[in-house]
Every structure is written in C-alpha cells, then in structure tokens.
Amino acid sequence: MCLAAICAAMSVVPASAQFRMDTSAGQAANAMGMPTIGDMQVGDAGYVASFTPCIERQGLFLPTLATVTEEPLAFAQNLRVEINADGDIVVDLYIGDDVPDQSQGLRQLALTIANASSCAAENYYFPNDYSDLRAIASINGHTSLAALIDSLVR
C-alpha cells in the first residue's frame, strides 16, 4: 500500500514544470503570419497537407485552422484548395515535382483521402484544430470518392 502511494506521488509533475498551452492553434498561426482555411475568401487559393481532411456525415471536411501555404511542397502530396464563387472549397490533387511517378502519386493521394480519419476522432486528439470545419465540395471536379478513383484508374 505504501509503495502505491510513493508511485502515485512520483507521477505527479509540479505545475511549475509544465509547458503551458495558453494560445489556440489559430492564434499561433495568425501570430506567425500563416494563413488558415478560415482566413480564405472567394478567389483565394493555396496548398494544405494531404493528411489534413477528415470525414464527417459521409462528407470530407477541412478544419478552418489548417494552415495554407502559397507554394506546394515539391517532394510531397498536397491538396490545392480554392474558394470558388459560391464560397465552396474546391480541391485539386497536387503531386510535388520531385515525385518520380506522378500517376502513382495521384492514386496514393486518393487512397490517403479514402483513409481519412473521422473528424470526431481528430477533434478528440486535436480539439483546438478540428472544432470548426468547412466542407469540401469537390476534388479534381468530382463530387464523390468513387468518381475520383474512377478518373485516376482509367
């Protein structure tokens, strides 16, 4: 019994030793001059990481706090996002120029999207980042995963 009390006491970290999370992800991005999906207006475009979308109610969403870059990463899979005239998010798959097999890269990126996590799960682990979402209207002009995949395997 005494051993359990000692172990419990050792597992408690004094508050003075903790790094405080005293700002939200959105405030941090804004302070560093990094635009987010939530900052985008009609006609704006940029790139987000391919693993950013999540699934909710059988739809694909982006968190409004996802950071947007002006240039894609040359060695990675990216999503080019744009806010169209209707205010919807439209996405084009973009494979970096340094990826040797572009068509395989596009298929892999579609598979990454097919395996997206649920927004609820992402919100559990990243509550500041995934609490506000915007729906993706289309990817490469397609409004369903089946149509997107069909276009990539032809």
Distance CA 46, CA 35 (A): 9
Read off the amino acid at residue 77.
Answer: Q
Closest CA to 63 of 122, 127, 129: 129
Confidence bin at 27 (pLDDT 50/70/90): confident
Distance CA 152, CA 147 (A): 9
Q: Tokens 């040797």, residue?
A: 100
Q: Which residues on neighbouring strands pair with residue 94, listed in sequence order? A: 78
pLDDT tens-digit profile of 60-102?
Answer: 999 888 889 999 877 778 899 999 998 899 999 988 777 778 7
10 in the Ramachandran plot: left (φ > 0), alpha (ψ -120 to 50) or beta? alpha
Which amino acid would we find at residue 123?
Answer: N
- Residue 52 token pair: 């950013």
pTM of this structure: 0.77
Q: Give pLDDT, residue 59.
A: 92
Gyration radius (Cα) of the chain, Å: 20
Q: Show the tokens assigned to 153.
A: 């395997």
What is the band of 29 on the pLDDT scale with cuts at 50, 70, 90? confident
